[in-house]
Amino acid sequence: MLYKTQEAIKAQGLTGEKKRQYRLDHSKPVVSDFFQWCRNQLEQGGLLPSDSLTKALNYVLSREASLTVFLEDPDVQPDTNHLERALIDPRHPDRQNKQPEAVHAH
């Protein structure tokens, strides 16, 4: 759902405040439901503190503020995929002209 929202933003050419508002209208309810689901899982009990799900839920909830920055800041991406691609693929536009000089020497 979040990626569909991002695709719609791109397709509509939204920027700035319009992009922010679109995310608040379309992504925030999904994100809010997700964090509430995480809280509900912990409140229901039945999970051991050592359970990997318990650890994951606590991890996510402890970073809720950081993970939701993209909702208020239109310049922040909802994920780091664009950064990971730049690190992995030397042909990616973010990696252009960042190779050592020795590579460019003829």
As a whole number of angstroms, the distance between CA 11 and CA 19 comes to: 11
**Do residues 38 and 57 touch, judged by C-beta distance below 8 A?**
yes
Higher pLDDT, 67 or 97: 67
85 within 8 A of 92, measured Cβ to Cβ: yes
Model confidence over 36-87: pLDDT tens digits?
A: 999 999 999 899 999 999 999 999 999 999 999 999 999 998 887 877 777 7
List, for residues 1-33, the tens digit of each pLDDT value.
Answer: 889 999 999 999 999 999 999 999 999 999 999
Reduced to 3 states (helix: H, G, I; strand: E, B; else coil), residue 90 is coil
pLDDT at 104: 47
Residue 90 has pLDDT above 70, yes or no: no
Whole-angstrom Cα distance, residue 56 to residue 95? 32
Smallest Cα–Cα separation from 34: which of 65, 61, 73, 52? 61
